[in-house]
Amino acid sequence: MSWFRRKRASPLASLAGEWRCAGCGERHSGLMDLAAAAPDPWPHDGDREPNGAIRFDGDFLSEDFCVLEGRYFFVRAVLEIPVHGLAEKFGFGCWSTLSRANFDLYLAGFDDGRFPDGGPWSGWLSNRLEHFTDEEPLALLVFPQPGRQRPTLLVQDDSHPLAIAQHEGVTAQRLLALLHFYGHAPAA
């Protein structure tokens, strides 16, 4: 089939439409996101409870909320990075800490997606993103979103490489290198 022999004009072409991943073997569609199932400090295996079962008596993990030792609070969010030449942004599905007060505000507004306080709230990035972050704690602004969309994150320090990536975008090559690190690659 000639489709398979078509020469690629640019790295962007390899992220268009559906593509077979030479890394994990799955089919991905367009610009795939990376997602972390839990904050990096989560010490247990992946078993997640329903969001509605939220409790504060120890360790808790669901799709959107995490509590550690009853006193550290995390929410699942998305950190977006524009990619040069693409309308769609790359999304890093990751976790941010919140204060207990803001965690409670988030829980209160979660079901109807309304947050009278509006944010942004302060948090700390709770997952590493290879090529962009190191071991240093990274302060974030957490923007709650209407309509049950996950909060979006902005790096507070404008001079940090991840902040620069968020503001200026990254090349498709750089994004492909990132995906490759995490085991995903458009088939050659």
Tally of CB atoms within 10 A around 117: 13
Please choose, out of 24-32, 50-58, 113-121, 157-165, the segment that lies near Zn ion by the rule CB under 5 A: 24-32
Shortest separation between residue 181's beta carbon and Zn ion, angstroms: 12
CA 167 to mean position of chain CA atoms: 16
Q: Which region among 23-31, 33-41, 72-80, 159-167 touches Zn ion (by CB under 5 A)?
A: 23-31
- Dist. CA 50–CA 111, nearest whole Å: 13
In the block, which residue shows the tokens 């498709």?
Answer: 172
Q: What amino acid occupies position 188?
A: A
Residue 21 interacts with Zn ion (CB under 5 A)? yes
Residue 24 in contact with Zn ion, rule: CB under 5 A: yes
Say which residues have a Cβ less than 8 Å from residue 31's Cβ, sequence separation at least 6.
15, 83, 86, 88, 89, 90, 175
In whole angstroms, the minimum distance from the beta carbon of 29 to Zn ion comes to 11
For Zn ion, the closer of residues 26 and 49 by Cβ is 26
Total of residues contacting Zn ion (CB under 5 A): 4
Report the distance separating Cα 7 and Cα 3, nearest Å.
9
Of 46-65, binders to Zn ion (CB under 5 A) are: none
Q: Which stretch in 14-22, 41-49, 116-124, 170-178 sits in contact with Zn ion by CB under 5 A?
A: 14-22
Distance CA 8, CA 103 (A): 46
Query: According to the binding rule CB under 5 A, does residue 187 interact with Zn ion?
Result: no
- Residue from 13, 16, 23, 59 in contact with Zn ion (CB under 5 A): 23
Q: Which residues bind Zn ion (CB under 5 A)?
A: 21, 23-24, 184
